[in-house]
Amino acid sequence: MPVDTDTVREMASLARLSIPDDRLEGVAADMRTILDFMGEISNWEGSPAPAAPATRRRTDTEHEPDGRALIEAAADVDAGEVVVPPIKGAS
Amino acid sequence: MEAAIIAGAVRLGSRRALDVVKEALDRAERAQHLGAFTELHPEHALACAARIDAQVAAGNNPGRLAGVPIAIKDNIAHAGMPMTAASRILRGYTAPRTATALARLEAEGAVVIGRTNMDEFGMGSSGENSALGPTLNPVDTKHVPGGSSSGSAAAVAAGVVPLALGSDTGGSVRQPASFCGVVGLKPTYGRISRSGLLAFASSLDQIGPMARSVRDVAIATHIMAGEDPLDSTTLRSQMGTMAAERKPDLSGVTIGLPEECWKPSDLGDVHRTVRAAIDGLEALGARVRQVQIPSLSAAIPTYYLLTSAEAASNLSRFDGIRYGDRAVSDDLIDTYTRTRSDGLGSEVQRRILLGTFALAEGWADDLYRRANAVRARMRAEIDHALTDTDALMMPTAPTTAFRLGEKHTDPIQMYLSDIFTTPPSLTGHPALSVPAGTVNGLPVGAQIVTRHHDEPTAMRLGMAIHGR
């Protein structure tokens, strides 16, 4: 893959990361190695896949969700603020 | 001791939850050298245990996990407790609510004693990528415990707790379970709510239990499973049950061995150990046949392209504005950039860069979209292989636990540790890792992959191999 220091600088800028100049070439080499390895995926273009069979379900049964338990587990709200337990060590 | 036995003793009043939890906290203190915990919560745990003892004394049912001390990975929210995902960028962040899966365990009496170490944001296969330092393998501390749920696996293997929660995006429950000699399950995608789990790659992430027995993993999964209005990807169907048989009659069960995972050139001690476990299943009546799943050979590139792309998007929220640490600057973009560059570790930054590249104009078609097509093909191929087999089996990892530092500087070698665990993560199939034996004193895990929704078959086979 054509990854050079300019590519790394551009990707880092998009990702809001800062790579020091003295590390740019090392990161570029690293990305080239990994992307070349990942490039194996291009060998799979156009390969036919078998038709997916319908998913077989076995012993599963429909059920109603336990709404009460969920509500009990939810945090309390007081005047529009979520109430959480005291934070350990907080003053 | 198993969680099921502890809970039974507490419910009957023959053991006090307070004593059980105190003992677990003592064990955690004594095991500090392993680096398994990011934080212990003794006050919280002892207060919960006292409440459970009060429930028992009052004649009330304290739940199926009454008084069972558990540990949770540091990317699972627990109201009022810190949550860092082992990253500097989340230093000082406190979870405002409890993850649904954990709330369900607590409602059944489980007691959280602490949070466990991990590879930062779940990105790693060795437990070495943590801002808090590496976790050591309790079986041999010169070796890694696997990752990313390194601390949860180590805490269970060291006997600190009988049950722990991890999260699995590409093997992060199963591979450390294999390296540490414990049981770990990645359930069917959607079986357990992801609400309250810090997102790495949302289309693959799943919370999974780790324990010393298949039975404890089954109990925890049953409790955590089910629909959750806070996670629209959860399944509406209920998980089936299984008989807890040590030597089940497996006549009528067919096990498929994917040729891609059993190449003659790869057959070493790890494969031979797993094959011996499969021989044991054959002795109980199971039939074994070869199957072909050609796309498995593309699993690692597919997995790393898709998860890096999802991570680049998911982790963009960590910019110092809403969560954790913030670098001070007068300029907003500079605040984002300095916060992220200072706060995120090198492996996380590497994957964000790769994901950004995979999604960039000009490359997205060649990389991201093609990876999605391979993923769909892999799912169809695995479904196809499971139409006339009940389970697929292979080693959980190609090697036993490697030495600390051995692969840390070679990302490709590290990524290849996940070669057998990534396919079920990509396709959503359930997969269980159970201890199958040892090689040179280090544990070997066997992986059992079954049809979507069919965790009980994986557990039935797992119990036949592991014996509990």
Quick one: pLDDT at residue B241?
78
Smallest Cβ–Cβ distance between A37 and the set B79, B377, B412 belongs to B412
| B387 with A53: Cβ contact below 8 A | yes
Please tell me the distance from the alpha carbon of residue B335 to that of residue B338, in angstroms, as a whole number.
5
Average pLDDT estimate for B17-42: 97
Of the candidates B284, B102, B271, B61, which has an alpha carbon nearest to the alpha carbon of residue B194? B102
**CB atoms < 10 A from the CB of B88, how many?**
15
> Rounded to a whole number, what is the distance in Å from the CA of A18 to chain B's nearest CA?
6
Please tell me the distance from the alpha carbon of residue B118 to that of residue B166, in angstroms, as a whole number.
9
Quick one: pLDDT at residue A91?
52
Tell me the average pLDDT of chain B: 95
- Residues B206, B184 contacting (CB under 8 angstroms): no
> Is residue B72 within a helix (H) or strand (E), and if so which, with residue range?
strand B69-73
Highest mean pLDDT among A4-8, B253-257, B405-409: B253-257
Quick one: pLDDT at residue B337?
93
Quick one: pLDDT at residue A59?
65
| pLDDT tens figures, B225-251 | 999 999 999 998 878 877 777 788 999
Q: Which of B220-224, B232-236, B241-245, B446-450 has the lowest mean pLDDT?
A: B241-245
pLDDT-derived band at B409 (thresholds 50, 70, 90) equals confident
Quick check: A83 contacting B, CB < 8 Å?
A: no
Q: Which of A33-47, B73-87, B104-118, B437-451 has the lowest mean pLDDT?
A: A33-47
Average pLDDT estimate for A27-39: 91
Q: Which amino acid is at A59?
A: T
pLDDT-derived band at A80 (thresholds 50, 70, 90) equals confident
| A49 with B229: Cβ contact below 8 A | no
Please tell me the distance from the alpha carbon of residue B205 to that of residue B75, in angstroms, as a whole number.
11
Quick one: pLDDT at residue A63?
63
| pLDDT tens figures, B122-151 | 999 999 999 999 999 999 999 999 999 999
Quick one: pLDDT at residue B411?
86
| Selected residue of A4, A19, A59, A61 to mutate for chain B interface (largest B Cβ count, 10 A) | A59
Q: Which residues of B437-464 are buried (b: 16+ CB within 10 A; e: fewer)?
A: beeeebbbbbbbbbbbbbbbbbbbbbbb
**CB atoms < 10 A from the CB of B313, how many?**
16
| Selected residue of A7, A21, A60, A87 to mutate for chain B interface (largest B Cβ count, 10 A) | A60
Of the candidates B202, B173, B206, B165, which has an alpha carbon nearest to the alpha carbon of residue B189? B206
Average pLDDT estimate for B157-170: 98
| A59 with B456: Cβ contact below 8 A | yes
Quick one: pLDDT at residue A50?
59
| ipTM entry | 0.86
Quick one: pLDDT at residue A64?
65
**Residue A53 pLDDT > 90:** no
Please tell me the distance from the alpha carbon of residue B179 to that of residue B175, in angstroms, as a whole number.
6
Please tell me the distance from the alpha carbon of residue B179 to that of residue B144, in angstroms, as a whole number.
8
Q: Prior bond to B148 cis, omega within 30?
A: yes
- Residues of chain B neighbouring A46 (CB-CB closer than 8 A): none
Q: How many CB pairs (< 8 A) connect A and B?
A: 174
Query: Given the DSSP bridges, would you call strands B254-258 and B111-116 parallel, antiparallel or unpaired?
Result: unpaired
Query: Given the DSSP bridges, would you call strands B442-450 and B391-395 parallel, antiparallel or unpaired?
Result: antiparallel
| Structure-block tokens of residue B93 | 């962040």
Residues 222-281 of B with CB under 8 A from A: 226-230, 236-241
- Residues of chain B neighbouring A27 (CB-CB closer than 8 A): 350, 353
Average pLDDT estimate for A5-33: 94
B172 is catalytic: yes
B148 is catalytic: yes
pLDDT-derived band at A78 (thresholds 50, 70, 90) equals confident
- Residues B41, B80 contacting (CB under 8 angstroms): no
